[in-house]
Amino acid sequence: MPVAVRELELDLDAFEGPFDLLLSLVLREELPLQEVDLAEIVIAFVEHLAGKGELDLDACGEFLILISALLELKARAMFPDEEAELAELEPEEAAEELARRLAEYRRAKEVAHWLRDRLDERRDLHFRAGPAPLAPRPERRLAQQDPEKLVAALRLLAVEPPEPSTAHMALRFPPVGQFLDRWRSLLRRRSRFDFDQEVEGLSRVEVAVAFLALLELRKQNEIAIAQVAPFASIRISRPDAERSLSWKISGTPPARSA
């Protein structure tokens, strides 16, 4: 018998002493089990575990087996004539009693299956180990606080927050005229230039505005635009320089009006 069960001292109306002595007296039939309050024994065992401050699973299992055996013995002692009563039943009454017991057995079996299904569903769950339910819970005490610091913190929380700025989300488009002047100045100094090289290092918005300026100059027939393949470099030149280059490559002079 585990130590926790052996050390259990009982103070009942019909018995006073250790639990193992009570078991010996009951088994030798020197103490009628009907006079023993088994509920008081369970309460005494729970209080004993709470006083130790730790949960002894071996002792709990052994105690459950012993107290279950005592409950069965006490129940049989309280109804000694049950088998004799069953033998005196008529066939129809015995059949009804059998049907009642089979119904109770069926309900117990369904409950057992339900419990096993719940156990299978939660088999992979692991619970964090913690103190026993009856262990005293420590009280959390706050350290001494400075009221002035608390007031200062509350004042900071009460200040209205600043309005959020959306300036970083606004797109600033440079004027198209800025790039018009730039491309015209380049074509006065050079006959042609490469668009990708000239816009290198600019932002995507500035590149888009620079390209719009090219389209405006092409619309006014101030420039010629050439690209040998999709996504290739865009070449910008003066219209007269582009016609001269085409004549040199093809060998056909440019057409002149009569």
pLDDT exceeds 80 at position 76: no
- pLDDT reading at 81 higher than 60: no
Q: What is the pLDDT of residue 52?
A: 77
Percent with pLDDT over 90 in the chain: 6
Q: Which tens digit of pLDDT belongs to each residue from 128-143?
A: 666 666 666 777 777 7
Q: Checking DSSP bridges between strand 9-11 and strand 16-18, what pairing results, if any?
A: antiparallel
Q: What is the pTM of this model?
A: 0.32
* Residue carrying structure tokens 């913190």: 153
Measured CA distances, 92 to 37, 87, 103, 106 (Å):
38, 13, 17, 21
In this prediction, residues 6-28 reach a mean pLDDT of: 79
Q: At what angle do helices 57-78 and 38-52 cross, to 10 degrees?
A: 170
Q: Would the pLDDT of 1 be above 50?
A: yes
The predicted pLDDT at position 211 comes to: 92
* Sequence-ordered strand ranges (E) for the chain: 9-11, 16-18, 192-194, 224-226, 235-237
pLDDT, residue 84, reads: 55
pLDDT at residue 53 is higher than 80: no
The C-alpha angle 86, 87, 90, rounded to 5 degrees, equals 85
CA distance 252 to 255: 9
Q: What percent of the chain has pLDDT over 70?
A: 76
Q: How far apart are CA 73 and CA 28, in angstroms?
A: 13
- In angstroms, the Cα distances linking 80 to 29, 73, 85, 217 are 15, 11, 10, 117
| Across 53-61, average pLDDT | 76
**Is the separation of the CB atoms in 84 and 95 below 8 Å?**
no
148-169 per-position pLDDT tens digit: 888 888 888 888 888 887 776 7
Taking 80 as the threshold, does the pLDDT of residue 203 lie above it? yes
pLDDT value, residue 8: 78
pLDDT of residue 83: 54
For the chain, what is the mean pLDDT?
Answer: 77
Q: What is the pLDDT of residue 256?
A: 39
